[in-house]
Structure 1
Amino acid sequence: MDDQLDIGDDKTLLLVDDDEPFLKRLAKAMEKRGFDVQTAGSVAEGKALAKARPPRFAVCDLRLEDGNGLDVVEVLRETRPDCRVVVLTGYGAIATAVAAVKIGATDYLSKPTDATDITNALLALGDALPPPPENPMSADRVRWEHIQRVYELCDRNVSETARRLNMHRRTLQRILAKRSPR
């Protein structure tokens, strides 16, 4: 593939995510693709691994239980400037994407994503963008994911969620009662 980086001998990959089932699935998938994977479930653990054994590649969740994944990206940039970092988040926003890229992330992907999209982003040559995902989320799905995220952040309080989303409470209740769109 001419549009992808040759990973050569250094196939070290650091995965940082607090979603343990996702982390395990992704680690297994990336190992099958030839990467030497280390995993971390927190910012503190990610920073420690980044300092102890700076990887060539990294995939880091933006929001972790003990802090912001961009803190791990900063440590990776200090310890290994050529590290290619992909930042993942379940809550995509332009401001956080810009912040991630300014700090040194190679790319920024919204969850849900799969190992193929992540591999393409990690191995894209230079500033070339990876190909668009084969199965991107629909606009309805993105809206639904956003509403669910705000709902969870408001401790499942419908009135508070509706206020923050500038939405009528009954409209929100109808949306929450429906199944997620595809």
Structure 2
Amino acid sequence: MWEFVPDDGSTQFVVPDFEDARSDYAPYYRSGKSVERAQEDVRSNMAKLGAGVLSFMPGYFSVDGQKRYGFVIKFAWGGGQGVIRVAGLPMRIETPKKIEQVRVQSLLNVSDWLMTMVTSRVFTPDFAPFLPYMLIDGQKTVLDVIREGGVLALPSSPDVEIGE
């Protein structure tokens, strides 16, 4: 039997404040795009994957006591609905301009993730890019259920037999 003991701090991931972020680990720090233009980028890339954005719900997430502005992006895909939650970087000092920059940055990162999914779809024909984000019960996504330690019930159909 063996045990891996990581170096101190190697498992820690600290989200930087917006004021400390730089392009090497937080791209789009100074994008210049509007929220509306960034939303169009997300819509365009989702369409390439056969999904349609239903809404962008702006708000903020409270993560470890920090307020992080972002969006809940509702979408339709494959006959179902899903949500992608994106929390922008926290800010030490909030201003309306910084809040907009944080929201643009978060949307442009989602757009990049979607482009990566497009590439994955090209090279992996059975790739299901939105599966983790699909709503199971109208509230929780597949990813939420897995995180909570739940078991996903496999869908059953009287027309399908497994095995012989």
TM-score (normalizing by structure 2): 0.28
Q: Which has the higher contact order (CA 8 A, sep 6+)?
A: 2
Q: TM-score w.r.t. structure 1 length? A: 0.26
Return the structure number with greater helix share: 1
